Amino acid sequence: MDVIKLTSEINLGVEGEDTTAGNPLSRSLDRLFEDGQPFKRFIQCFWAQAPASEGLENYKLWWFGVFILSQGNKVIFFPGLSKTKQHVQAYKGKHLEWDQEFDVDHISLEKDHARWHITSQRSKDHLGSLRTADLGEGRRLWFGMSISDFSSLWPLRQKTTVVTSSPPSDARRRVRVFNEARERAEFPIIEPHPDASKRFKGGFFHVSVIVGPAGFEIYRGENHGFPFGSPFLTEPLPEWILEIPVRDHKVSLSDDMEMQISTSKLPSTLRVPVTFTVGW
């Protein structure tokens, strides 16, 4: 087997090198270099703890995750969770649907953008067949993701190194696939709106991910997968959160597909590190 070493560097990260196999970069490349499965687009996405307007001294970065457009046009998200092995509970309304241990490796959006599911490493196990929400004009709300605080995410170091292996007969092709997939890719840094928490103290962060055709108009409606009625909240969300400022980020997934990532901060407190919410 040929040993392949890949290094990603960003000067805004925490000092040091991350060589851990559980980081989202390493997990996202496993299927290509270990199994030979190609993909068409590769996007690293980072989450800033505070807006850049507050100064670089507060501009600490964390992994939001890695997005991949598969050869079959599925969008695959490897979330930057601090722990992939989680105790997963899921509710449909007030009914408990899942209550189990699960190794959350990635989240897969089907190529028709109608449904998504949670998958363990190497796709050994799946959870759910969850519906996306129609936002009009070809846009679909994939999911809403809330975090209790930034310790729920994987910290970004200035250098992230992946060491993997590949059969000598196919190593060059696999490296070429990776280089072509990242050639025109954007590596966005998402951050909260500077006015997001002026109406309250504390709170938790929320991100919505929307997919649609290239050039779609930014969605500015109310359906961002906010966790209304969630049993994981210490107190219900007030209706006025629909007026909270949201910061929108746009990323190209392919020549004919784009993704909107919108960030906000919400009042109340999460009882768990991370929640994923479907829209209505």
**Residue ranges of domains in the chain:** 2-277
Give CA–CA dist 11/13, Å, rounded.
6
User: What is the pLDDT at residue 51?
Assistant: 77
- Residue type, position 61, single letter: L
Prediction pTM value: 0.92
pLDDT tens digits, one per residue of 210-233: 999 999 999 999 999 999 988 899
Beta strands 157-166 and 14-18, pairing class: parallel
CA-to-CA distance for 274 and 61, rounded, in angstroms? 18
**Would you tell me how many other CB atoms lie within 10 Å of the CB of residue 225?**
25
Per-residue confidence (pLDDT) for residue 39, from 0 to 100: 92
Residue 223's identity, in one-letter code, is N
Low-confidence spans in the chain with pLDDT less than 70: 55-58, 122-123
Separation of alpha carbons 92 and 98, rounded Å: 10
Residue 133: the pLDDT is 95
- Name the packing angle between helices 24-33 and 171-183 (round to 10°): 130
Closest CA to 261 of 272, 249, 273: 249
* Whole-angstrom distance, CA of residue 166 vs CA of residue 57: 41
DSSP letters, 63-115, are: EEEEEEEETTS-EEEEE-BS-SEEEEEEEETTEEEEEEEEE--EEEE-TTSSE
pLDDT for 123: 67
For β-strands 189-190 and 39-48, DSSP reports them as: parallel
Quick check: 148 and 273 in contact, CB under 8 A?
A: yes
